[in-house]
Amino acid sequence: MLRFIAFVLTCLGGLNWLMIGTLQYDFVAGIFGTQANVFSRIIYFIIGIASMYILIVTIFNKGRLKLFGYKKKKPKHEEVEDF
């Protein structure tokens, strides 16, 4: 679940940078007033940490990023009949 949250935060940060590059509008700073506002800086920090987490997890998993942990299916035990 942590990977999914970090992935979503990283995507939101990427969308914010897309808006900065194309529209010259910073969405986070628009919500909180300025980029220098404490709340804006906290949001930037959280998105940065999420991005670093995604990067490190992807490097350690050799380029694979699993957002959800898939549970291994337990093998079905065959019923043994008593003779």
Q: What are 1-23's pLDDT values in tens digits?
A: 888 899 899 999 999 999 999 99
Burial environment of residue 2 by CB neighbours within 10 A (0 to 12, 13 to 18, 19 or more): exposed
8-state DSSP, 36: T
Q: Using one digit for the tens of pLDDT, what is the confidence trace for 24-58?
A: 999 888 988 888 889 989 999 999 999 999 989 88
- This prediction has a pTM of 0.70
Report how far residue 43's alpha carbon sits from residue 24's, in angstroms, rounded to the nearest whole number: 19
pLDDT (0 to 100) of residue 77: 64
Q: Can you read off the two tokens belonging to residue 45?
A: 């920090």
